[in-house]
Amino acid sequence: MLDASEGHVTADGRKIGGVVMEMRNITLRFGGVVAIKDISFDIREGEIRAIIGPNGAGKSSMLNVISGFYNPQEGEVWYKGQKRPPMKPYQVAQQGIARTFQNIALFEGMSVLDNVMTGRIRQMKTGLLAQALWKGRAEAEEVANRAAVEKIIDFLEIQHIRKTPVSRLPYGLKKRVELARALAAEPSILLLDEPMAGMNVEEKEDMSRFILDVNDEFGTTTVLIEHDMGVVMDLSDRVVVMDYGKKIGDGTPEEVRSNQAVIDAYLGVAHD
Amino acid sequence: MFYREAGDFKTSYVDDSQTFPIRVDRYGYYALLAVAFGVLPFLVNDYWVNAVLLPFLIYAIAAIGLNILVGYCGQVSLGTGGFMAVGAYACYKLMTGFPEINIFFHVILSGGITAAVCVLFGLPSLRIKGFYLAVATLAAQFFLVWLFNRVGWFYNYSASGQINAPERTVFGIAVTGAQNPPWAAYLFCLVFTVGCALIARNLTRGMAGRKWMAIRDMDIAAEIIGVNPLKAKLTAFAVSGFFVGIAGALFFSVYLGAIEVGEAFGINKSFLVLFMVIIGGLGSIFGSFAGAAFLVLLPVFLKNVLVGGLGWPTDLAAHLEFMIVGALILIFLIAEPHGLAQLWRVTKEKLRLWPFPH
């Protein structure tokens, strides 16, 4: 396990800071079904934190708790040293938590550029009247944010499709546009829900590279759900393992790999 | 070939986000504005203004308003007629209550009042969607018409229950009332149409438009990336109501001059404007103009051809006109479900390569 001291430097020279978000004894129920049962873990600034587990373990529910889509019945979410009151999802987003979705949730009727620009919602504050006039404040803000968005478009290598309607793009590119939209918010925590689901090997390699580059370049704290164990073990600094809504392991990839409970959950054990 | 964007490079984000990014389009637009403002007022006569230009300009404003709500924000509304009535009656009350204030401000204020009413009837949209919302707005349509029919204060207790626009002037020239010169009425409406179209374009190319479209395309995802659904939907209702109210105010004060609410702003009006938006193209400002032109000009054109050209009796022509317009609407929607705006986009795409498509 990592020591509790504030911050350290990883073997490859990245800075990991103090705890930015902490989940304390989270329990989430849907009627009689307990999706998450008394789970606690923390997320440190600048790290790539993976959540893994077999199907139905409650990983996506956990992500939905972090992004404010579900409010847990019990437990507390601590964000930047403060207890977070129950919030609407858009308020959580305004606090700087951005995410991508398991099934792509782009705005199909809009161009790639507009999709990514929508991610800047947190930074664009001009009122309706100023926007109606356009010249002046609205235009200045649009241009400034466009410049920031273009950097991300550049970074993720999607310049050639910026004016294309999203509905015309292939799956792999859509995933990348979705990442761009989340990044455009300059989030303090980036949540990725199965960013590599349904991709071939080349696309997975591309996506892994982008995730690492983003973390490297912007120091973005990343929480990742992924089924491809190779990818998870390679990318992440620390891993939470869930099974049937319970936490069965937490630690570095090496620690998790040798954890007997984790091996049992994935390979199965004889019940007698 | 004829439609050139080659060599039209953008060197700044300001250039790239302008209303007409392609130079040919931009010059065409300037030319159109110059003709509309500088040439047409000297040519038009009473028939042209009252049969063609005024209805086109006014319906274009209403269609833009409804397009923002339905086409951009995805909230279906069948209350357009009722909201136009709000604009008309607000304008009437302002004209008669504050005769010393210029009619120009009355029309804008009417838009503001309609926006407030529209937001009120937009509140259910936070809970209900799609067809159910359409039914809720239908209630607005019937309630508002009933209200203006029943409460005497709105029509100043006139014996007939009608409202009549008194004469009001801009720069000393009458734009409303029986004696207004056609060109003045035309110019007055043109100013509002151009202004509304510009505002609509500015809003839809910026963050407000993106929020609306995000709600339209996937409301849950929109909320998770930070769009406040309450604010986005209600601003769409407000902006839409503002335009529809202006259209209603102009329809009453400049175009008709005297109205009876059930006749002028009945459910037919709601459907007419909705058809304009659908035929023109959802989510397109140009489509709003195209749709308004289609449904205003086509009947006039058919009447001229059938009665004027072929010498048919008027009643026969009137019936055939309905059938032909209906059939054309069907054909258009089957050929291009995304409306005239999409047809225009496809034409432009083709023209880029014509006559060498390979």
Q: Tell me the Ramachandran region of residue B9: left when phi exceeds 0, alpha when psi lies from -120 to 50, beta otherwise.
A: beta
Is the pLDDT at B212 greater than 90? The verdict is yes
Question: According to the model, what pLDDT value does residue B6 have?
Answer: 65
Q: Tell me, what's the pLDDT at B160?
A: 84
- Judge whether A211 and A48 are in contact, CB under 8 Å: yes
Contact B225 A143 (CB under 8 A): no
Tens of pLDDT along A179-191? 999 999 999 999 9
How far B236 CA sits from the closest chain A CA (Å)? 11
d(CA B283, CA B337): 13
- pLDDT range class, residue B335, cuts 50, 70, 90: confident
Q: What is the pLDDT of residue B114?
A: 96
What residue ranges do the domains of chain A occupy? 1-96+226-272
- Asked whether the beta carbons of A8 and A40 are under 8 A apart, the reply is no
Contact flag A134-B202 (C-beta cutoff 8 Å): yes
pLDDT tens profile B317-333: 888 888 888 888 888 77
Please give the structure tokens belonging to residue B52.
């063609």
Residue B5 pLDDT > 80: no
Mutation target for A interface from B212, B213, B217, B225: give the one with most A CBs within 10 A: B225
B229 contacts A121? CB cut-off 8 A? no
Q: Which pLDDT value is given to residue B209?
A: 93
The shortest C-alpha distance from B66 to chain A (Å) reads 17
Q: Taking CB atoms and an 8 Å cutoff, what residues of chain B touch A118?
A: 210-211, 214, 222, 225, 227
Inter-chain CB proximity A107 and B239 less than 8 Å: no
Look at A128 and B226 and tell me if their CB atoms are within 8 Å: no
Question: What is the set of domains in chain B, with CATH numbers?
Answer: 1-8+21-38 (no CATH), 44-353 (1.10.3470)
Residue B258 structure tokens? 């005297």
Residue B204, pLDDT score: 92
Q: Is A129 on the interface with B (CB under 8 A)?
A: no
In this predicted structure, what is the pLDDT of residue A2? 44
Which residues does chain B have within 8 Å of residue A148's beta carbon, measured at their own beta carbons? none
> Which is it for strands A82-83 and B163-164: parallel, antiparallel or unpaired?
unpaired
**Shortest CA distance from B15: residue in chain A:** A143
Report d(CA A131, CA B203) in Å as an integer: 6
Helix orientation angle between B267-280 and B339-353, rounded to the nearest 10 degrees: 20
How far is it, in rounded angstroms, from Cα B88 to Cα A165?
39
Q: Which chain A residues touch B12 with a CB distance below 8 Å?
A: 143
Helix (H) or strand (E) holding B328: helix B314-335
Q: Write down the pLDDT at residue A78.
A: 93
pLDDT for A62-110, tens place per residue? 999 999 999 999 999 999 989 999 999 999 999 999 999 988 899 998 9
Mean pLDDT of B210-230: 92
Chain A contact set for B218 (CB, 8 A): 105-108
> Residue A124: its chain B contacts at CB < 8 A?
207
pLDDT higher than threshold 90 for residue A27: yes
Check: CB of residue B252 under 8 Å from CB of residue B85.
Answer: no
CB contacts < 8 Å between A and B, how many?
104
In sign, the C-alpha dihedral spanning B309, B310, B315, B320 is negative
pLDDT attached to residue B115: 96
SS3 B174: strand
- pLDDT given for residue A3 in this prediction: 46
Residue A168 contacts B, CB cutoff 8 Å: no
A71, A60, A44, A22: which is closest to A222 by C-alpha? A44
User: Is the pLDDT confidence value at B178 over 80?
Assistant: no
Secondary structure, 3-state, chain A: CCCCCCCEECCCCCEECCEEEEEEEEEEEECCEEEEEEEEEEEECCCEEEEECCCCCCHHHHHHHHCCCCCCCEEEEEECCEECCCCCHHHHHHCCEEECCCCCCCCCCCEHHHHHHHHHHHCCCCCHHHHHHCCCHHHHHHHHHHHHHHHHHHHCCCHHHCCCEHHHCCHHHHHHHHHHHHHHCCCCEEEEECCCCCCCHHHHHHHHHHHHHHHHHHCCEEEEECCCHHHHHHHCCEEEEEECCEEEEEECHHHHHCCHHHHHHHHCCCCC
State percent of chain A over pLDDT 90: 62
At B290 the pLDDT is: 92
- What radius of gyration, in Å, describes the C-alpha atoms of chain A? 19
B133-163, pLDDT tens digit by residue?
Answer: 898 899 999 999 999 988 889 888 888 888 8
| CB nearest A133 (choices: B14, B202, B223) | B202
- Tokens describing residue A268: 């199965």
Q: What angle do CA B108, B114, B116 make, to 5 degrees?
A: 110
Q: pLDDT tens for residues B290-304?
A: 999 998 988 888 888
- Minimum CA–CA partner of B14 in chain A: A143
Share of chain B above pLDDT 90, in %: 44
Q: Is domain A1-96+226-272 classified as CATH 3.40.50.300? A: yes
Helix (H, G, I), strand (E, B) or coil at B216: helix
Q: How distant is the Cα of A181 from the closest Cα of chain B, in angstroms?
A: 9
Residues of B in contact with A60 (CB under 8 A): none
Q: Which residues in chain B have Cβ-Cβ distances shorter than 8 Å to A99?
A: 224-225
Confidence of residue A1 (pLDDT cuts 50, 70, 90): very low
Does B19 have pLDDT greater than 80? no
Residue B4: pLDDT band (50, 70, 90) is low
Q: Where are the alpha helices (DSSP H) in B73-205?
A: 80-97, 103-122, 130-150, 182-205
Return the residue of B nearest to A102 by Cα.
B221
Looking at chain A, the whole-number percentage of residues with pLDDT higher than 70 is: 97
Shortest Cα–Cα distance, B272 to chain A (Å): 25
pLDDT number for residue A272: 62
Mean pLDDT of all residues belonging to chain B? 88
- What value does the mean pLDDT take over residues B44-61? 90
A87 touches chain B (CB under 8 A): no
Q: Using an 8 Å CB-CB cutoff, list chain A residues near B14.
A: 139, 143
Rg (CA), chain B: 21
Question: Do residue A142 and residue B207 have CB atoms under 8 angstroms apart?
Answer: yes
Note the pLDDT of residue A90.
93
Q: What is the mean pLDDT of residues A267-272?
A: 71
Length of chain A: 272
Contact A109 B228 (CB under 8 A): no
Q: pLDDT-derived band of residue B200, with 50, 70 and 90 as boundaries? A: very high
Of B203, B216, B222, the CB nearest to A132: B203
